[in-house]
Amino acid sequence: MKRSIYFVSESTGITAKKVGQSLLSQFDGLEFDSHYVPFLDTPDKALALAQRLGEERLERGVRPIVFATLVDKLLRQILKQCACLYIELFDAFIDPLSAELGIQPTGRTGVTHGQRDQGRYDARIDAIHFAMANDDGIRLDKFDEADVILIGVSRSGKTPTCLYLAMNFGLRAANYPLTTDDFDRDDIPFQLLPFRHKIVGLTIDPVRLHRVREERRPGSTYSSLEQCQREVAAAMRIMARLNVSVLDSTSRSIEELASHIVEVPVGGAG
């Protein structure tokens, strides 16, 4: 029987889920039933969960595992005492941090993924709208307002990466798709040229691109391996001449691409 996993928090539970999943990914060959329990913010809710954990323990013969980021001591106590392995993800680090910083923690919940820093939150939402409005070369007159501009062939990962950059780093990310027009003139549009320093190119293995495009338009010229090979080669020529950084999206997730794009070199300025 699969073991039950619970991600529990007084607020969104996003951190508990991400960290818990990261930890579990270190153990191979196991399957889990995952349960996501955000907004567990009253003793009643904690008691209801404790009862459910007890029942699962009996049914499955193994303890459920709870990954939690609970601040309230009573809520924690309720879950710690029941039939589960309770892993509190924040608690162990608060004391050493408090000692180092010389101040007491606030014990406030829901700070991480809330709107507490309204200015920064608004900037993120703005960046998302910017990415939507400047996706896929829809318009060519706002590149001056972009923090970064991704170029690459259709389905090389530009759009999801731009949205990720906006959502998680608050960057205003535009993107421009390289198509026949660009390949014919062997260059990007003149509107883009002044912003070459902000451009990052995305490339992708033609075979993988072929497979991705086949999903979208099976049997089309657009998705044929030949067309994919030709486009990728032409795009690489343009990027090489522009002398822009190029990232390969073939086996990189959008998180990895975004991290490379915002990366500060270790030896670089602070």
Among positions 111-140, residues that touch its own copies (CB under 8 A) are 111-116, 121, 125, 128-129, 132, 135
Residue 243 beta carbon to its own copies: minimum distance, rounded to whole angstroms: 22
Of residues 85-114, those binding its own copies (CB under 8 A): 85, 87, 89-90, 92-94, 96-98, 100-101, 103, 105-108, 110-114
Residue 97 to residues 69, 106, 162, 194: CA-CA distances in angstroms? 16, 13, 34, 46
Closest CB to its own copies among residues 69, 151: 69
Contact status: 156 vs its own copies (CB under 8 A): no
Q: Which stretch binds its own copies (CB under 8 A): 83-91, 186-194, 198-206, 236-244?
A: 83-91
Looking at the Cβ atoms of 116 and 139, the one nearer to its own copies is: 116
Query: Which of 148, 149, 151, 163 is in the footprint of its own copies by CB under 8 A?
Result: 163
What minimum distance in Å lies between the beta carbon of 184 and its own copies?
27
* Least gap, CB of 231 to its own copies (angstroms): 19
13: left (phi over 0), alpha (psi -120 to 50) or beta: left
Rounded (10°) CA dihedral 223, 224, 229, 232:
-10
Amino acid at 72: D
Instruction: For the chain, state the CA radius of gyration.
Output: 24
For the four alpha carbons of 6, 11, 12 and 17, in that order, the dihedral sign comes to negative
**Smaller CB separation from its own copies, 136 or 186:** 136
For the bound state, the minimum distance from the C-beta of residue 141 to its own copies, rounded and expressed in Å, comes to 17
Give me the least distance between CB of 61 and its own copies, in Å please.
13
Could you say which DSSP state residue 202 is in?
E
Out of 139, 185, 196, 260, point to the residue binding its own copies (CB under 8 A): 260
Return the SS3 of 60. helix
Q: Are strands 148-152 and 173-177 parallel, antiparallel or unpaired?
A: parallel
Which CB sits closer to its own copies, 35 or 80? 35
With contacts defined by CB under 8 A, how many residues of the chain interact with its own copies? 85
- Considering only residues 42 to 61 of the shown chain, the ones binding its own copies according to CB under 8 A are 45, 48-49, 52
Contact status, residue 236 vs residue 245, Cβ threshold 8 Å: no
Check binding of 65 to its own copies (CB under 8 A): yes
Residues 9-38 within binding reach of its own copies (CB under 8 A): 11-15, 18-19, 21-30, 33, 35-38
Cβ-based nearer residue to its own copies, 229 or 259: 259
Taking residue 73's Cβ as centre, other Cβ atoms within 10 Å add up to 11
Q: How far is the CB of 23 from its own copies (least distance, A)?
A: 5
Distance (Å, rounded) from C-alpha 182 to C-alpha 139?
15
Per CB under 8 A, 69 contacts its own copies: yes
Alpha helices in the chain (DSSP H): 14-24, 43-60, 73-80, 91-101, 118-133, 158-169, 180-185, 206-216, 225-242, 254-262
